[in-house]
Amino acid sequence: GPDLNRALTAAEQLGLIDTPPARAALVRVLGLGAPPPLLLAAITALGQHVDLEAVPILRHYASYRSVPVRVAALTALGRSGGPEAEATILAALSDGDAPVRQAAAELAAQAGLPAAEGTLLLLVQRGDVAVVAPLGRVGGARTVDALTTNGRARGDAKVTPATRAWILGALLLREDFGPDPLRVRVVEALGALRTPEATAALVRYLAAVPVEQQRPSRAAAEAALKGQRR
């Protein structure tokens, strides 16, 4: 209808109805085109109960000119899952606008997409602090190689020691990160940093790993902390 406010209300109400006709109405609006506020409302509503049939239109709006619309489309895609949605999220990591990159990074981390590691690492090395936390959640050996060398933290003007310590500490705390020789490398790099952030990361790791596990990386963390106290 011609009344934008009524249309916005209708879109919001349709988002509360998990039925094929409700989803079809929202997809139809998106297919016909609408003012950005209505597009945003329709995408947000569709994202409440997104299905695979809605993925093509959401992928279209993931490259729309409006930043909020792109972010909403990516968020809805993140709830749908599937290869096409994942591919769109990975592509959005290279978007020209920081809010879109950040949204894509968060979604990639939530989905645990290993394919996001390379782009996230490159963004961090370029000074994009918005994707630091997601990298800590999906990073692996490639991230360790990029941030450390020969048991020490690698220097990089755009990756501050605090950021480096935060990422390495986040990797250590993940249950899926390893094997233990890789953890030892991270621990040694944190010990070499000798910053408050690195010390805090080592303390958190010791608190998270029971003594009875007898991990070499835990022993290395204890040694690193003792060395810093001397």
pLDDT score at 56? 95
Say what the pLDDT of residue 154 is. Answer: 60
Determine the pLDDT at residue 12: 96
Mean pLDDT value across residues 32-59 = 93
Name residues whose C-beta falls within 8 Å of residue 163's C-beta, 6 or more positions apart in sequence.
Answer: 124, 129, 132
Confidence of residue 38 (pLDDT cuts 50, 70, 90): very high
- Give the pLDDT of residue 167: 96
Task: Tell me the per-residue pLDDT of 148-195, one tens digit each, with 9 for 90 and over.
Answer: 875 555 666 678 999 999 999 999 999 999 999 999 999 999 999 989
Tokens at 135, concatenated: 């990298």
- Whether the per-residue pLDDT at 98 is higher than 60: the answer is yes
Specify burial of residue 168 (Cβ count, 10 A radius: 0-12, 13-18, 19+): buried
Closest CA to 172 of 211, 201, 141: 201
DSSP-assigned letters across all residues of 69-123: HHHHHHHHHHHH-SHHHHHHHHHHTT-SSHHHHHHHHHHHHHHT-GGGHHHHHHH
**pLDDT-above-70 percentage for the chain:** 96
pLDDT above 70: residue 86: yes
Examine the pLDDT at 202 and tell me if it is beyond 60: yes
How high is the mean pLDDT of the chain?
A: 92
With cut-offs at 50, 70 and 90, classify the pLDDT of residue 20.
Answer: very high
pLDDT digits (tens, 9 = 90+) for 63-76: 999 999 999 999 99
Residue 133 has pLDDT above 90, yes or no: yes
pLDDT tops 70 at residue 135: yes
Kindly report, residue by residue over 144-159, the tens digit of the pLDDT. 999 987 555 566 667 8
pLDDT value for 81: 84
